[in-house]
Chain A
Amino acid sequence: MEAVAQKIRETAAKLLSEGKVDCVIGYAQGTVPMRDYPYFAYTPEEAQNLTWSPFCCNNLANFLIRRPKGEIGKVAIVAQGCVSRSIVGLIKENQIAREDVYILGVPSPGMVDRRKVQDRFPLKTITEVTVDGEDLVVKGKDFEERIPQKEVRRDNCYTCVQRNPVIVDEMMGEEGPSDWGGNIDAVAAPWEKLEPGERWEAFIDEVDSCIRCYACRDACPLCYCHVCFVDEAMPQWCGKTQDEADVATFHILRAFHCAGRCTDCGACESACPQGIKVRRFTSKIEKDIRELYDYSPGMDLEATPPLSVYRPNDPQEFIK
């Protein structure tokens, strides 16, 4: 893990000093345990702050579109499997040009879910977490424990199908196995196992703690609309209140807009302050897309996304 971080720092410094890129987007050590944050290095010295750890839960592709286009020219970006797939998606949707991005490919180590670690120490405050080989050393006020990373890995990383980056300019470490053995179809769409009657309760009690801060929308690289449907007033599709219907409308439509585009990077779930498992909606849609169109988003630059083109043999059994 540390070797990869070191390689990133060197490459970043080299790229910056040669002026090949104006900025390198990577991760830096956070001020709060288990929280590395997206960091913009403009000078070789700043490149030294870049790290690589199992706590890099944000999707950096998000920052390729969030910054004003004209300001920064060529950018290098650290990208593991799911981030690289997001980059492919953004290129296909004309949001970024392939030549503007220099991709530093990294095999994804499988990120840690900081809530799973916190749940092991209910109500206790964790002061520091360090990586030691395959394990994590968790220190708190009056406790210290060692936990194997495998047990606290994020759900989406556990069932990730594409650990190695899809498109890359330079690899920062050798390619690992392409998945962690998790079977995405078994895990996806957990509510399908519930009775139709109970599903609504499960859905509502999952989203009732939502405080409508839209962190899930803003953390996602796919949400780059100037005016999101929640901001539209005339007509108002979805109210701003905490009513059950408004919260439900927001989550259903946000997930719907990711259909055929979501690369399951889990940034939305990591960003949510209330710990809502928003991936439950997108995993269901992606499962349908796989079954109906046999297409997984962001894998290949040329393939046209299934929902934006009509083919005669599209499945239509739901139409009478």
Chain B
Amino acid sequence: MSDNSQYQPRIAAFLCNWCSYGAADLAGVSRLQYPPNIHVIRIPCTGRMSPKFILQAFRQGVDGVWVSG
């Protein structure tokens, strides 16, 4: 977990494999630029998302959690 000079937040992004992960790929294909702070964790569906993961992410010291279905 490297923090360089200018504060870079670490964000855990839980993306649903069929919808948001697809949108992320499409954003890649169309070369849309966005800040690199999100770290994507692929889940089969937002149904898989459980509060335990959100709490665990905060316990690991991430600055933000984003769940997208």
Q: Does chain A touch chain B in the assembled complex, meaning CB atoms less than 8 Å apart?
A: yes
Binding site for B on A (CB under 8 A): 229, 235, 237-238, 245, 249, 252-253, 256, 319
Nearest B residue (CB) for A250: B55
Interface residues in B17-69 by Cβ distance below 8 A to A read 51-52, 55-56, 59, 69
| Bound CA–CA A252/B59 (angstroms) | 13
| Bound CA–CA A245/B61 (angstroms) | 11
Given contacts A245-B59, A252-B55, A253-B51, 13 further A-B contacts (CB under 8 A): A229-B52, A235-B56, A237-B52, A237-B55, A237-B56, A238-B55, A249-B55, A249-B59, A252-B51, A253-B52, A253-B55, A256-B51, A319-B69
Total interface residues on B, using CB and 8 Å? 6
| Bound CA–CA A255/B50 (angstroms) | 14
CB neighbours (8 Å) of A249 from chain B are 55, 59
CB neighbours (8 Å) of A229 from chain B are 52
* Chain A nearest CB, measured from B18 CB (Å): 17
* Chain A nearest CB, measured from B1 CB (Å): 16
* Chain B nearest CB, measured from A203 CB (Å): 13
| Bound CA–CA A238/B59 (angstroms) | 9
| Bound CA–CA A97/B23 (angstroms) | 48
| Bound CA–CA A184/B2 (angstroms) | 47
Nearest A residue (CB) for B56: A237
Interchain residue pairs A-B with the least CB separation, the first 4: A237-B52, A245-B59, A249-B55, A256-B51
